[in-house]
Every structure is written in C-alpha cells, then in structure tokens.
Amino acid sequence: MKQTLTILGLESSCDDTAAAVVRHTPGQKAEILASVVEGQDALHAEFGGVVPEIAARAHAEKLDLCVERALLESALTLTDMDAISVTAGPGLIGGVLSGVMCAKGLSAGSGVPLIGVNHLAGHALTPRLTDGVTYPYLMLLASGGHCQFLLVRGANDFTRIGGTIDDAPGEAFDKTARILGLPQPGGPAVEREAAGANPEAFSLPRPLLDRPGCDMSFSGLKTAVLRTRDRLIADHDGLPREERRDLCASFQAAVGDVLAEKSRRALIGYLAQKPPFPIFAVAGGVAANRTIRSALETVASELEVNFCAPPLALCTDNAAMIAWAGLEKFRAGHRDDLTLSARPRWPLDTASPAMLGFGKKGAKA
C-alpha cells in the first residue's frame, strides 16, 4: 500500500455540515490540508434545540458545497484522494443519511474507495491526528451529545468504562442557561456569568459520586438549578444578577467535581493496566470550559498522566477527525461499498451494555 494517504472526510451527524482533507505519511505529523465546517445554530435557534428535519435538509443542501470548498482549499481533486470517509453513525438519521448518500455518489462517480466511520471514533482518535499519541490512552468525551470514558487501544478497539445515564454535560449547561435566561449555546454563556462568582454559594448535588464506577448523571443537576431559581425568584421577587452569577458558578463547580472525580476513577483503572506512556485526552465542547479543563488537568497531573486537549476546533464536530478515523481504517485494510448503511445508533464498544436514551443532538450510543 502507498505510504502517504490523502483522505476526504464528510461529517453530518448532528448540526454541523463539514468536509476536510487530511494527509498522512507514517512517522510524520498528520496534515489537515482543509477543514470546512458550516454550523446550523441560526437555523435551530428559535426552537431551543436541533430540529432533525431542518438539520437533514440543511446537510443535503450544504454537503457538496463543503466538499467543493475543502477540495479547493487543499488544491486537490477528488481523484487525488485515496478514500472518501464518511460518518455512518451514530447521530440524527436524516443527517447521517445525507452524508452517506453524498459520499456514495462521490465514490461511485470517481471510483475512489468508500469508508464508513463511527462519529465517536472520530472524536476518540483525534489526539492521534493532532498529537500523534500512542495507544492505549484514556479519553473523556464530554459534549452536548456525548459523555463517556473510553479506553482506546486501537482504531477499532474501544472499551467504554463509563458514561452518562441521562443527559450529556453540555446539555445540562444548555438547559441551565435556558432556565436562567442566558443565550445558547449555554456552556460559554454560563462560564462567562460564573467568572469571578462564588461557586460555594449554593449547594447543588454531585449525582452518582456516592456510587462506585465511572457512570455519570446530569439531569438531576439541572432540576436542582430550576428549583433554586424558583426559590430565589420567590424570595427576591425576581432573579438578582449576583444570585444568578453565583448559581452559574455553583452549577459549573458541580459538573467539574463530577467529571474530575469520575476521571480520577477512570484513570486509576487505566493505570492499573500499566500503559507504557499514560495519556488522558479530552474532547467535546465541555472540555473547552476553563474551570472544568483545569480540574481535569489537575487530576491527570496528580496521577502523573500526560494531559492532551486537542485545539477546540478539532474537539467539537468537524470532518478532519472523520478523515483521520477513515485513514486509520483504510491503512488497516478496511473498505466499504455502496451497501454501506447509515446507523442512528452505533456503540463504539459493543461488548459493554448499551447506554439508554437520545440527547438533544441525537443518539447517546
């Protein structure tokens, strides 16, 4: 097989339409030759969440344009690609279908091989794209749609060692923002409000910390925020700005405590396997939160594990990660054909029991 591989990636499983071109030669750092992401925030803003039909239609309209732009930016053509890699699940089925159909059309028209990849594998393998980290490493994926700890041993070898049993933490941030009258996306808005406020002002629950293991729960936390807000409004005849800031800080501290303690437990389990170069990697929008990120970094450094946080644009949904995941599969000899199907649910780790539920951004897998 050729040493240097150039892969086109397509992503459309949630509310970002994306195309990217990634090139890699073994022993060298991977290059992202182009990465185009078209978000849909404005289309869904008035509905307070992603509307699957609107998302699917927008993906179908934008995918080929994103591919065109990515090829233009990379100064390459479709036939320069060694493979076309597309998210084939999990996610909102209409969006995933749009991507798979587009990729099949491109593959059939150009003769370039097709590869279907798991969106979560894209996130989980990103530290290899950005930092060339070696297996096995521990990954915490914490976003609006996902929340899980993964032990990553290979491009197709993942063990989920815990995850949310209800909401993802980003969802809890978004709902908290809505409850407190702050704009969407809620994470950055809550973080801004919390800056300099008192994280101990309100005592909010730390769900599932009293139970062993690495599973998490965030939906009760949002209910506690709602109750506290109602009490404050009743006491003050409105929600005073200072109280709202303290409530944001207290909420953020609770999410941070849960993620940090569960990360500590996950890391202890990982270290027991004596990895030669221990690495704790994070991805997802929630990992952008400075308070949470520094809590996770502290846990890693206490346990003498290297911490890896890819740049934010590659932590959130993008197609470079899909191109990379496809590249690893292609190198391992994997090929798909026009029978590739879109899968709304597709757990990375089929040996662990399935997590229940769909988040506002699709299947939690």
Is residue 289 a contact residue for ligand KG4 (CB under 6 A)?
yes
Is residue 215 a contact residue for ligand KG4 (CB under 6 A)?
no
Those residues with Cβ within 8 angstroms of residue 80's Cβ, 6 or more apart along the chain or in another chain: 6
Stretch that binds ligand KG4, among 94-102, 137-145, 147-155, 197-205 (CB under 6 A): 137-145
Is residue 187 a contact residue for ligand KG4 (CB under 6 A)?
yes
C-beta of residue 262 within 8 angstroms of C-beta of residue 216 = yes
Those residues with Cβ within 8 angstroms of residue 142's Cβ, 6 or more apart along the chain or in another chain: 168, 169, 170, 259, 282, 283, 284, 285, 286, 287, 292
Q: Which does 6 bind (CB under 5 to 8 A by kind): ligand KG4, Zn ion, none?
A: none
Strand arrangement, sheet containing 16-24 = 31-39, 16-24, 5-11, 83-89, 114-118
The token duo for 190 is 């809550």
C-beta of residue 37 within 8 angstroms of C-beta of residue 26 = no
Residues from 323 through 362 that contact ligand KG4 (CB under 6 A): 361
Is residue 39 a contact residue for ligand KG4 (CB under 6 A)?
no
Q: How far apart are CA 359 and CA 337, in angstroms?
A: 30
Using CB under 6 A, pick the residue from 90, 284, 310, 326 that binds ligand KG4.
284
Q: Identify which of residues 38 and 317 has a Cβ nearer to Zn ion in the complex.
A: 317
Is residue 11 a contact residue for ligand KG4 (CB under 6 A)?
no
Q: Which does 185 bind (CB under 5 to 8 A by kind): Zn ion, ligand KG4, none?
A: ligand KG4
Is residue 91 a contact residue for ligand KG4 (CB under 6 A)?
no
Residue 84 Cβ vs ligand KG4, minimum distance, rounded to whole Å = 22
Using CB under 6 A, pick the residue from 317, 328, 336, 349 that binds ligand KG4.
317
Closest by CA to 81, choosing from 111, 112, 123, 104, is 112
Our measurement of the distance from residue 276's CA atom to the centroid of its chain's CA atoms, rounded to an integer in Å, reads: 26
* Interface contacts to ligand KG4, rule CB under 6 A: 14, 143-145, 170-171, 173-174, 185-188, 191, 284-286, 288-289, 316-317, 361
